[in-house]
């Protein structure tokens, strides 16, 4: 199942997308959206958003890391998103 399908709710029958509550970090909004991969683990995935000049910009990302538990995946996804913000800042939207 792809990240985009998981994020937008086109999951397997009976399964719903789980997007975390937003986390604010340095003016960016982070939403973790780990999804179950083919191995049954939660894949690291999320969205980093920010309003720039009145326009909402979003950067979607997915990483190879996977976790057995949803909460572990959310925690790592938020940590990874913070790292992306620190390293790339607004360049991630370019």
CATH at 50: 3.30.160.350
Q: Cα(45)–Cα(35) distance, rounded to whole angstroms? A: 7
Q: Cα(50)–Cα(91) distance, rounded to whole angstroms? A: 12
**pTM score of the predicted model:** 0.82
**Radius of gyration (Cα) for the chain, nearest Å?**
13
Q: Which two tokens stand for residue 1?
A: 């199942």
Q: Which two tokens stand for residue 47?
A: 């969205």
Q: What is the 3-state secondary structure (H, E, C) of the chain?
A: CCHHHHHCCCCCCCCCCCCCCCEEECCEEEEECCEECCCCCEEEEEEEEEEECCEEEEEEEEEEEEECCHHHHHHHHHHHHHHHHHHHHHHHHC
Task: Give residue 46's domain range.
Answer: 3-93
List the pLDDT tens digit at each of the 94 positions of the chain: 455 555 544 444 434 458 999 999 999 999 999 999 999 999 999 999 999 999 999 999 999 999 999 999 999 999 999 999 999 999 999 8
Number of other residues whose CB lies within 10 A of the CB of residue 92: 16
Number of domains in the chain: 1
């Amino acid at each position: 199942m792809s990240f985009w399908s998981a994020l937008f709710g086109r999951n397997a029958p009976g399964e719903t997308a789980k997007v975390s509550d937003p986390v604010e970090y340095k003016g960016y909004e982070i939403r973790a959206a780990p999804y179950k991969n083919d191995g049954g683990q939660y894949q690291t995935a999320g969205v980093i958003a920010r309003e720039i000049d009145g326009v909402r910009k979003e950067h979607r990302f997915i990483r190879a890391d996977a976790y057995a538990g949803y909460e572990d995946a959310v925690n790592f996804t938020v940590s990874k998103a913070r790292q992306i913000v620190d390293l790339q800042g607004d360049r991630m939207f370019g």
